[in-house]
Amino acid sequence: MKSAIYEGAVTHRRHPTHATADVEHAFEHRLTMAYLFLDELEEFFAQHWLWSTRHASPLRFRRRDYLGDPSVPLADAVRHVVTERLGRRPAGPVAMLGQLRTWGWLFNPLTLYYCFNDSGTELDAVVLDVTSTPWHERRVYVVDATQRTSRFAKEMHVSPFMGMDHDYVMTWSTPDERISVQLGNRDGDERLFDAVVSLRRRGSSRAELSRMVWRGALQTYGVSADIYRQAWRLFRKGAVFHPRRSSRTRRELSAAEPSTRD
C-alpha cells in the first residue's frame, strides 16, 4: 500500500520588508498528515475501526470536505481541474496530502493533490486547494509538475496581515520517504513570506492509525488555534491589517500587467 501517515512540521517565516511593514515573524507547527492514494481509500480506512469513509467516526474522510462536486469521485474532480487549467488529463494515480475530519472538526489551510503520469512514479501536476483565514474561502491553483518550480499570481485574500498584489513561488519534491513543499509570497524579486512543509513517512500500520486518532486530534484543533494566536502576535508587533478584498479572477489577472516569472 502506497498511502501512509507522514509527520513533521510547517515553518512560517515573514520577512521584514516595506510590504510587510518591516515586521519579522516566524513560528513552527508540528504536523501529522495523511498521504492518501485515492484509489486506495477504502482499503486504507478499513484497517482501523475508528477510521471511516462512510459515516461519522473519530477519523473520517468526508467527500464534501474536499475539492469539487461531492457527487463526483475526488480523483476525477482533481483530474478535471488539471485538464481545464493545463489542457491535459493526468493518466496516472492521484494522491492527496491533507488533514482528515478528526473528532468532528476539520480546517485544511492547504490540501495538495499529487497527479502522477502513466508511469505512476513521475509527477504530472500538483493541485493546491487553499482555504483562507478567517473567511474560509477557497481557491484552487494548478502547477505543471514537469517544471522544477512554479510562479503564479495570488488570487485570494488569505491572511488579513498580507496584501493581495503578490505572486506565489512554489517548489516541491515527489513524495517518497520524505515530503517537502515550499510556498512563498513575492513582490517582484522581494521575498515577503515563506512557508515550508517538511514531513517524514511514518507508515500505514494499525499502530500508526491509532496514534493519529489521538495525536492528530490535538494537532487538527491546534492548527486553528495557532493561526489566531500567531495573528494576535503579529498585531502586537505592529503588522498592518489589510481589509479583505474580493478574489481576483483569472480574466482580471490576465488583463493586468504581467509580473516577472521564474
**pLDDT the model gives residue 257:** 39
Cα separations (Å) of 5 from 54, 92, 94?
A: 20, 21, 16
Let me know: does 115 contact 124? Beta carbons within 8 Å.
Answer: yes
Q: Which amino acid is at 17?
A: T
Number of H helices, E strands in the chain: 4, 13
**pLDDT the model gives residue 221:** 66
Distance of alpha carbon 77 from alpha carbon 70, whole angstroms: 9
**pLDDT the model gives residue 218:** 66
Q: From first to last of the 262 residues of the chain, give the pLDDT tens digit.
A: 999 999 999 999 999 998 888 999 999 988 999 999 999 999 999 999 999 999 999 999 999 999 999 999 999 999 999 999 999 999 999 999 999 999 998 888 899 999 999 999 999 999 999 988 777 789 999 999 998 899 999 998 888 888 888 899 999 999 999 999 999 999 999 999 999 999 999 999 999 999 998 876 666 666 767 777 888 888 888 888 887 765 544 444 443 333 333 3
**pLDDT the model gives residue 156:** 87
Q: What is the 3-state secondary structure (H, E, C) of 124-163?
A: EEEEEEEECCCCCCEEEEEEECCCCEEEEECCCCCCCCCC
